[in-house]
Amino acid sequence: MNRVIATERLTKIYNTGGSEIKAVRGVSLRVEKGEFISIVGHSGSGKTTLLSMIGGLTRPTYGRVLIDGVDIWAMSDEELSRFRNRKIGFMFQFSSLISTLTVRDNMLLPAALSGKVEQQHEERALELLERLGLEHRAGAYPAQLSGGEQRRVAVARAFMNRPEIILADEPTGDLDEESEEQVMELLTHMNREEGVTILLVTHNLELAARTRRTLRMRRGRLEER
């Protein structure tokens, strides 16, 4: 058994203007290496909050997140951010491209930030762009792309550092069917060929049905479906 993610009674309570919102309530989730899990649930049920606690972006109110057995919220901010960059690829709604860099340089940014850009990074960037039908846009700036194209570049970029885990929060939310299919094929390919563990939040039940395990978030609790 190779457990890559474990949460223990993970809980998030937001305090806003004197009132408490229990966004995530005691979620204990176990994910084995190489799983591809979809998470469905109504808007406001706590999906984004759960993913961002697992990804080290939102500090839990109670409970723990273990990644490869390491309690990530016991780390210093600096350790956590290094850990995150090394292990996790994010596809969140807010993940946006840098407007002053070309698509190609946006793709190479994760490599540039963690050292030196090499031939292998250039090749990987091109291969990922090809898988999303965007190789001919490598020299363009984000503003020259449609919203859907920008979204797909951000999706491709999440794989640049060969993350062990991908946390994808409705990555196909605003895409047309064809682009959505390309993104799903990329996720499936990376899961099968590179053994990447994936948690995918989606509204699309057809996409969810294509993963081996689907969980449902309901008012802050997570149920097997």
- Binding region for Mg ion (CB under 5 A): 47-48
Q: Which two tokens stand for residue 14?
A: 């937001």
Site mask for ligand ADP (CB under 6 A), range 46-85, x = bound:
xxxx------------------------------------
- Rounded to an integer, what distance in angstroms lies between the CA atom of residue 149 and that of residue 152? 5
If contact means CB under 5 to 8 A according to the sort of partner, which of Mg ion, ligand ADP, none does residue 150 touch? none
If contact means CB under 5 to 8 A according to the sort of partner, which of ligand ADP, Mg ion, none does residue 44 touch? ligand ADP
If the CB atoms of residues 46 and 142 are measured against ligand ADP, the closer one turns out to be 46
- Note whether 45 binds ligand ADP by CB under 6 A: yes
Give min distance, CB of 61 to Mg ion, in A: 18
Q: Tokens 């929060």 label which residue?
A: 169
Candidate residues 43, 76, 119, 120; the one interacting with ligand ADP per rule CB under 6 A: 43
- Note whether 171 binds ligand ADP by CB under 6 A: no
If the CB atoms of residues 48 and 211 are measured against ligand ADP, the closer one turns out to be 48
- Alpha-helical (H) ranges within the chain are 47-54, 77-87, 103-113, 119-131, 147-157, 177-194, 205-209
Pairing of strands 3-16, 30-32: antiparallel
Give min distance, CB of 45 to Mg ion, in A: 8
Give min distance, CB of 211 to Mg ion, in A: 18
Q: Which two tokens stand for residue 180?
A: 């959505």
Residue type at 80 in one-letter notation: L
DSSP state, 1? -
**CA dist 116 → 9, 96, 107, 119, 133 (Å):** 40, 22, 13, 10, 26
- Residues at the site binding ligand ADP, with contacts judged by CB under 6 A: 14, 16, 21, 23, 41, 43-49, 217
